[in-house]
Amino acid sequence: MSKPLIAVSTSRDNQFTAGPRDFVRSVYVEALDQAGALAVLLPNHPTAEEALAYCHGLLLTGGGDYDPALYGHEPQGTNMASVNPQRDHTEQRLINAALSRNMPIFGICRGMQGLAVAGGGTLVQDVEEQLGIPRERHAQKAGRTAQTHRVRLEDASALARLVGQLDIRVNSFHHQVVDTLPHGYRLAARSDDGLVEAFEDPSHPFVVGVQWHPEDLAATDSAAQMLFQGFVEAARVYQVSSQSVRGDGSEGL
């Protein structure tokens, strides 16, 4: 069987001299490759969701802030200069389309926040302004592979069973965080200062959001590796089931 194809959301740069460009950091592709999957990078375009018909999982990557209007709030700490409507709307359509297909979804940092917004949840727009938690606790100055704080996984969570640990060290590059969870989701992890660090949707085979960046740790950290391996394994199961439904033996692109 061919490797599962993972649709990967991309960042949008509207200031590029030759015109808008969509891009992703290569560590996402490398982490998927290490776990046994192929990345399919999706543009921020209304037709992007059509590619899901050929894919077996959706990876939502990190990036700038979501427009608070999408979850019914006024700006209160959001970096509005980082908000990109094309990306916001593309990813929300991708999430809804993937959920309707029962496709595995892995949301990382902004990707987790996008899952929350799509499911009716809300965000804390700035942990320092709104919660009094110093930004540097979660927007670390250290390098991307430095594991600067602890995350405690919920005992009964699928995430804890997947990782095989209840306490892990993670990296952290965010100033926003999920406030209210989306409908039907359950908490999977918190930081020592009480922030939501992970959630999961128990009604789907694999819909997980994490607030840290395991793609930067996957080369050496076992917990990060298990996250990507679990996601890719779920995509492989989806690949087999989708081929069975089609009954034609085709494997996508």
Domain boundaries, given as residue ranges, for the chain? 5-246
Catalytic residue among 56, 138, 175, 213: 213
Catalytic residue among 109, 138, 175, 233: 109
Q: Is 215 a catalytic residue?
A: yes
pTM recorded for the entire structure: 0.95
61, 28 contact by CB (below 8 A): yes
Q: Is 233 a catalytic residue?
A: no
Please give the CATH superfamily to which domain 5-246 belongs: Class I glutamine amidotransferase (GATase) domain (3.40.50.880)
Q: Is 55 a catalytic residue?
A: no
pLDDT tens for the 253 residues of the chain, in order: 799 999 999 999 988 888 889 999 999 999 999 999 999 999 999 999 999 999 999 999 999 999 999 999 999 999 999 999 999 999 999 999 999 999 999 999 999 999 999 999 999 999 999 999 999 999 999 999 999 999 999 999 999 999 999 999 999 999 999 999 999 999 999 999 999 999 999 999 999 999 999 999 999 999 999 999 999 999 999 999 987 665 554 544 4
Catalytic residue among 91, 197, 200, 215: 215
